[in-house]
Structure 1
Amino acid sequence: MTTTIGLIRHGSTLWNKEARIQGHTDNPLDDEGLKQAAEIAERLSGEEWELVYSSDMLRARQTAEVIAARLGFTVAGLVPGIREMSGGLLEGTNEQERVERWGKDWRTLELGLETRESGRLRGSSAIEELAERHPGRRILVVSHGAILRSALSGLVPDLDLSQLLKNTSLTRIIKSGDTWTCDLYNCVEHYGI
């Protein structure tokens, strides 16, 4: 029996365009983000999906609600374990502001960011729990770029994660027995539908 999970990064926000770290700041989608959500929803309507789950953060929930409505069902639940990783003191800042506040070596400072290890454990555990709750099903999970990449590093350790996830990209992972594989990564073929 295989369980398939489609991982979707939320649509764009104003802070995405301004290159500001969002983390736990609960920003809404912007107009482009709502359009992107409609585009991925249209694409997914031609596939066989059974459930939609979302992070409990607004930008992911809005994306998930557009997708679920197009597929003819409601969001099955909100999953705090897949909320974005905390950006600590960096939330709301862009690169220039970080350099002005903390200097060009700001990355070496302790600024309250959630660690990659914490994100890997939290995200992969949340996805494993969904797979265990719905074995053999096809589940969509709407979340965030950093936590999804961190979760994937735990579930599919050999996967090349060097490419950042695009807004409303689809990454598909499949669980067979105790093993996860990824057969689609960061796909945005629906852009412009």
Structure 2
Amino acid sequence: MTTIGWVRHGVTDWNLERRAQGQTDVPLNEIGREQARLLADRLQAEPAWDAIYSSDLSRALETAETIGRALGLPVVTDVRLREMSFGTMEGTTPEERLLMYGSDWETLEFGREKPEEGAARGTAFAEDAVRRYPGRRVLAVSHGALIANTLKALAPHEDWASHLRNTSVTIMRLEEAGWRCELYNCTKHIDVGA
């Protein structure tokens, strides 16, 4: 059955500052570029992938292109893999939101995309990947919130509590009974010696 490897993009300055990125196009920083290179090296030594898809936002696309060069695969962008919109919250830190909106800021809407809307985009991508690549292996380079909500929708029986780390790999395989997680939030390529 089809396997999808969900990859979160490398780190950005906004990640380090804890700023909500959402659909704001924030580039990788040098650490993120190195994470992408390390991941690409890792994936060269693991079972082969048949296709790479990516969000069109530069932090994911650069991560995917680094992997694609190493694996000799072209990268196809798919806007369904874009991060979820965080509305007017984008660009702010939790501390700034606390100062601007008070301690209950997390209950406010900010025009954010709802979790089920992001999950619907991610699951639609997964369904198309299954149709296009039956029995094959597809990488999807995307973003933390989009991947997290998609995983919850694909396999609600799994424990998805851990926050997805930058350049983490989560491997999902479609079996007769549904999606099964083979690997979750793995960053062994950047955890060496840690």
For this pair of structures, how many residues does the alignment match?
Answer: 191
Cα displacement (A) at 1:177:
3.9
Matching residue of 2:27: 28
Q: Is the 8 A contact 1:166 1:186 kept in 2?
A: yes
Q: Is the 8 A contact 1:39 1:192 kept in 2?
A: no
Q: Is the 8 A contact 1:87 1:113 kept in 2?
A: yes
More deviation in 120-129 or 34-43?
120-129
State the secondary structure of the residue aligned to 2:2: strand
**Matched residues in 2 for 1:127 and 1:63: separation?**
20
Cα displacement (A) at 1:178:
6.4
Matching residue of 2:63: 63
Matching residue of 1:91: 90
Matching residue of 2:100: 101
Matching residue of 2:167: 168
Matching residue of 1:150: 149
State the secondary structure of the residue aligned to 1:69: helix
Q: Is the 8 A contact 1:8 1:171 kept in 2?
A: yes
Deviation track 1:53-73 (CA, whole Å, cap 9, x = no partner) reads 101111000000000000112
Large movers: runs of 4+ above 4 Å: none
TM-score, length basis structure 1: 0.96
Please, which runs of 5 or more residues in structure 1 have no aligned partner? Answer: none
**Matched residues in 2 for 1:3 and 1:46: separation?**
20
**Matched residues in 2 for 1:132 and 1:155: separation?**
16
**Matched residues in 2 for 1:178 and 1:116: separation?**
24
State the secondary structure of the residue aligned to 2:45: coil
Deviation track 1:36-91 (CA, whole Å, cap 9, x = no partner) reads 0001100000121111110111100000000000011221x111111100011110
Cα displacement (A) at 1:176:
2.1
**Matched residues in 2 for 1:164 and 1:157: separation?**
16
Aligned CA-pair RMSD: 1.1
Q: How does 1:1-193 map to 2 (within 5 A)?
A: 2-47=1-46, 48-75=48-75, 77-177=76-176, 179-191=178-190
TM-score, length basis structure 2: 0.95
**Matched residues in 2 for 1:126 and 1:49: separation?**
17
Deviation track 1:81-116 (CA, whole Å, cap 9, x = no partner) reads 111000111100001100111111001112111111
Please, which runs of 5 or more residues in structure 2 have no aligned partner? Answer: none
**Matched residues in 1 for 2:22 and 2:150: separation?**
16
